[in-house]
Copies of this chain bind each other. A is one copy, B any other.
């Protein structure tokens, strides 16, 4: 006759409340006291349910202020993948390779669509990022944030909000885990800059095939770095 756990039920009820009231991200939720009143449960149960929803970024709890509808970002995916990857104590590099492969398939497949939809303004932004990469590379510094920005701007034109968030999630996991293992610095910034410029050039020429090839080459470089790293070369 196993009853549904109280906490699970409360979670569903809170989610349903958000949906029913058509609340959007940032909208205030009932206070804990109001929830325990309306749902007829104790404060502990309410809090445990809210904590679970917070972990999913479905609600956001601000200390001393209130509870609000969350952004429903892909933070849980990042946390989960990071844990998965770090918890695989056997083949250390395997989990990272898997993430990288998914990123590659996505980006190589999407770049074709980008070539058809990208605007002049966006091409300008991309060139701007590459230019900034050049100046950063000239000083010998690496530029992880610029790389991230490049790929984010790249897929903005698709009108698919999920795509850049998903790629950003994979990117973050890759960087985070890679960094936790003591990764080597990005080798030869000039080459990395060149790879990105090749992509922009192909896009400007509306050369979908060329853009795909350039993106694939870009990933070959990343994979080579990852393989090198897994052999303990720093």
Contact = CB atoms under 8 A, between A and B. Distances in A.
A123 interface: no
A228 B126 CA distance: 37
Contact of A56 (B24, B73, B79, B86): B79
Interface string A30-57: 0000000000000010011101111111
B105 A110 contact: yes
Contacts of A15: 83
User: For chain A, what secondary structure do more than half of its interface residues adopt (helix, strand, loop), or is it mixed?
Assistant: helix
Contacts of A99: 162
Interface residues of A, number: 50
Contacts of A22: 89
25 contacts: A15-B83, A18-B87, A19-B87, A24-B87, A44-B44, A48-B48, A51-B52, A53-B55, A56-B56, A56-B79, A56-B83, A58-B79, A72-B83, A72-B87, A73-B80, A76-B80, A77-B80, A98-B160, A98-B162, A101-B158, A101-B160, A101-B162, A102-B166, A106-B109, A108-B109
A91 to B, nearest CB: 11
A98 B51 contact: no
Contacts of A57: 80
Interface of A: 5, 7, 15, 18-19, 22, 24, 44, 47-49, 51-58, 63, 72-74, 76-77, 79-80, 83-84, 86-87, 89, 95, 97-99, 101-102, 105-106, 108-110, 113, 158, 160-163, 166
Nearest to A54: B52
B105 A109 contact: yes
Given A98-B162, A98-B163, A166-B102, A63 B5 contact: yes
A162 B18 CA distance: 31
A49 B55 CA distance: 10
B98 A161 contact: yes
Contacts of A44: 44, 47
A56 B55 contact: yes
Contacts of A101: 158, 160, 162-163
